[in-house]
A = this chain, B = another copy of it.
Amino acid sequence: MVAPARCTDGMGEFDLIDRYFKRPARHAALGVGDDCALLQPKAGTQMAISSDMLVSGRHFFADVDPRTLGHKALAVNLSDLAACGAQPLAFTLALSLPHVDEPWLAAFAEGLFALADVHGCELIGGDTTAGPLNICITVFGEVPVVAGSSQALLRSGARPGDDIYVSGTLGDARLALDALLGKIELPPELLATSRARLETPTPRIALGLALRGIASAAIDVSDGLLGDLGHILENSGVGATVHADIATELIAAYSGNKRATGQFCIQLSTEQWRALALAGGDDYELLFTAPPTLRDTVAQAGRASQTPVTRIGQINTEPGLHLMDRQGKPLDNTCASFDHFA
């Protein structure tokens, strides 16, 4: 299914890799350019591994700025390392492209490597092919094993009585998506800030590292707060109560909207704001649990990692996910998450 190469100067697969994606290996024993890359994890560590595939028209608009796409493709993977409490090491990139567009590739590589460099995470290999635009990144991080026990944060460790926390803000990425889809109108400056949350999310690596040994369970919020909390509850065999209005206050556009006067106003119902926070998705914040005895320690981890952390609920013994409003009254928990095949 491959076309015979011609003896022309057209940019081929190997030139493309050399020009845009080959950089000297720094940490890896062997980087891009052989059949395999070679990584040698430090003694007494485990390797944390995660893979995410981004498809044009599904995870991003076909005409998205390639610089932000390069950022986001790596960010969603780094977010999985953050949720695991892993230190990023390296990644592979497999890229299917409809055609070779050099300015697009240069901008994509720029966005990708800018974020990679922030986290000392190096590209060690991958694949390029012709086909519908598709980006598959597999990321590798390091987690210490102390006295035979992995320091990785898992989904399965939440215990009844634990507090539930979320980092940063919620819902703004979905607000931007709805605006870009024409479902809602946003003032230009609010569109810009919300769109930055959608297109260039911040993987919470520093917070994930700071929460090792503190958080009892963790996950990153990609499909929506309640949906992702559901994975913690299922894996831990517990239930939870979430303060819907505290979560809603975490929408930057909501807090801004409340503070704004006259010209700055978005017309959404209370239910719509809550749905943004609870089921918006694409937030790439850390959702985690910790015992109430560690509240000061959690706050300290947030400060040390310069990451806002908000307590939004509690783990229950009984299975089930309950919502309450600011008066403590129960709210309907409508099935609200995102699923790529639903």
Binding site for B on A (CB under 8 A): 1-8, 10-14, 16, 29-30, 33-41, 43, 45-53, 55-61, 80-81, 83-84, 86, 92-96, 100, 124-132, 134, 136, 138, 140-141, 143, 145, 150, 152, 154-156, 177, 218-220, 223, 227, 235, 279, 281-282, 334-342
Q: A1-B57, A1-B61, A5-B335 are in contact. List 5 more A-B contacts (CB 8 A).
A: A5-B337, A13-B341, A35-B218, A38-B47, A39-B46
* CB <8 Å contact, B8 and A342: yes
Oligomer copy total? 2
Residues of B near A140 (CB, < 8 A) are 49
* CB <8 Å contact, A341 and B10: yes
* CB <8 Å contact, A138 and B58: no
* CB <8 Å contact, A58 and B131: yes
* CB <8 Å contact, A51 and B136: yes
Residues of B near A59 (CB, < 8 A) are 1-2, 129
A150 to B25 alpha-carbon distance, docked (Å): 16
Residues of B near A138 (CB, < 8 A) are 49, 51, 92, 94, 138
> What distance in Å separates the Cβ of A318 from its nearest Cβ neighbour in chain B?
21
Closest to A138 in B: B138
* CB <8 Å contact, A4 and B279: yes
* CB <8 Å contact, B29 and A46: yes
